[in-house]
Amino acid sequence: MRTILASALIALCLLSPAGATSQAWLAPIPQAQRVGEGVFKRLGWSVYTARLWAPGGVYTPGKPFALSLTYEFDIARSRIVDASIDQMARLGAPIAERPQWRAALEAVLRDVSKGQSLAGVYVPGQGATFYLDETPTGRMDEELAQYFFGIWLDPRTSEPALRVALLGKTP
């Protein structure tokens, strides 16, 4: 009886999003492998674990990549959108001239619960497609995608240690 129960629990874990090893959203990236990962913390609390994926595990600007964020607690979409807008503005994004970007972010980002992942897959010339776990949530255009992913990948990011970890480099 214990063996059957243990097998059932293992099967459930393997089928659940948290235990899933298949990320269908990586399909547009040829030979996708993890480049690096890091934890974003605020006031000592882990907010999310970020992972960068690219062809052959090597990030090259101008080539396809994916960025996934797995959250450590529940966060409302409005907080994620506001933080994204603030960080993009800090990097020089023309937020005031592109008021439609807030609506675009609200369309692709979602409320998240502990353990859920938001992922964005960037394909040059096509912009980015977003997912909540394995469910597509929408697309954003090329210009917005570049500023959005710059939050983590731009050398001027507010979180340089996280950028270094995502790029698989040592500080």
pLDDT digits (tens, 9 = 90+) for 33-80: 999 999 999 998 999 999 999 999 999 999 999 999 999 999 999 999
Residue 60 in tokens = 């090259």
Give the model's pLDDT for residue 92: 96
Give the model's pLDDT for residue 89: 96
pTM score, whole prediction: 0.84
Nearest one of 147, 153, 139 to 53, comparing CA atoms? 153
**Contact call for residues 162 and 149 (beta carbons, < 8 A):** no
Give the model's pLDDT for residue 17: 35
pLDDT grade, residue 130 (50/70/90)? very high
Distance between CA atoms of residues 77 and 34, nearest Å: 26
Nearest one of 55, 56, 38, 37 to 124, comparing CA atoms? 55
